[in-house]
Amino acid sequence: MGWFKKSPDLQAIRPDVGPQPQRRFGLTGVGSSPYVMNCNVTIDTQDLALGRSIAAALRESASGGLPGVQVLALPHEGAVEIACNVESVTGSPPGHLHPGEPWPSFSIDGQTYRHVPATLIAARVAELAGGHGVRTKGTALVGFTPRECRGLAELALTRGIAEFWKELHKIRM
C-alpha cells in the first residue's frame, strides 16, 4: 500500500471503512487474531532439563503434541513452570487426545475455532512429570476465555463504555 513510507501518497490509500486519510490525523491500523490463552503448569522440581523435555512433548510440532500449543519451560519460584501459549485452531480435535472431552469452540464468520482445554494440558503435564516421579504444584490461566471475552464486550457495548481498558481494572483478569 505504501502507507509505511515516510511520505505516503494518501490519495492512493483506500480505507476499508471511514473517510479518506488526512495527513493531520495520521494512520491507525487495527488487526485481530483468533483467541489465545496462556496456561502455565508448575512442576515440583528444579530440573529444567526435565521441564524442557515435557515442553518438547507437549508442543504442537511434536509427534502426539497438542494442536496450537507453543511451550517453554522456565525456572519459576524454586520450581519449573511449563508455560503454554494456546492458540485457536480449525478442525476437529484429534481423537487420541482424551476422546469425549469437550474443546472450547467459537465461530468467526462461519469458521469454527477450537483450543485445547486447560484441563487437558494440566493432565498431560501431570502424566509426563509423574513418569519421572515429579508432581505438579498448580496451574494458572492468564487472560479471559472466549466466553468471558464475549461477555465483557457485550457489557462494554450495553453500558456504552467507549474506553473499556480504563474500566478493566475494576473487573478481574
pLDDT, tens digit (0-9, with 9 covering 90-100), for 1-40 = 444 556 667 677 777 777 776 777 766 666 677 778 899 9
One-letter amino acid for residue 131 of the chain:
G
Distance between CA atoms of residues 30 and 88, nearest Å? 20
pTM above 0.85, yes or no: no
Contact assessment for residue 74 and residue 81, using Cβ atoms and an 8 Å cutoff: yes
Between residues 128 and 151, the one the model is more confident about: 128
Residue 113 corresponds to which cell in the numbers above? Answer: 475455532
pLDDT the model gives residue 158: 87
One-letter amino acid for residue 74 of the chain:
L
Residues 6 or more apart in contact with residue 83 via CB below 8 angstroms: 38, 40, 71, 72, 73, 74
pLDDT, tens digit (0-9, with 9 covering 90-100), for 41-87 = 999 999 999 999 999 999 999 998 999 999 999 999 999 999 999 99
Q: How many CB atoms lie within 10 A of CB 131?
A: 10
Between residues 156 and 44, the one the model is more confident about: 44
pLDDT the model gives residue 1: 46
pLDDT, tens digit (0-9, with 9 covering 90-100), for 74-130 = 999 999 999 999 998 988 887 766 566 788 888 878 888 888 999 999 999 999 999
What does DSSP assign to residue 133?
A: T
Residues 6 or more apart in contact with residue 69 via CB below 8 angstroms: 58, 59, 60, 84, 85, 86, 87, 116, 121
pLDDT the model gives residue 107: 81
pLDDT the model gives residue 124: 94
3-state secondary structure (DSSP) of residue 128: helix
Contact assessment for residue 137 and residue 40, using Cβ atoms and an 8 Å cutoff: no
What is the topology classification, in CATH, of domain 36-142?
A: Alpha-Beta Plaits (3.30.70)
Least confident of 112-116, 152-156, 169-173: 169-173
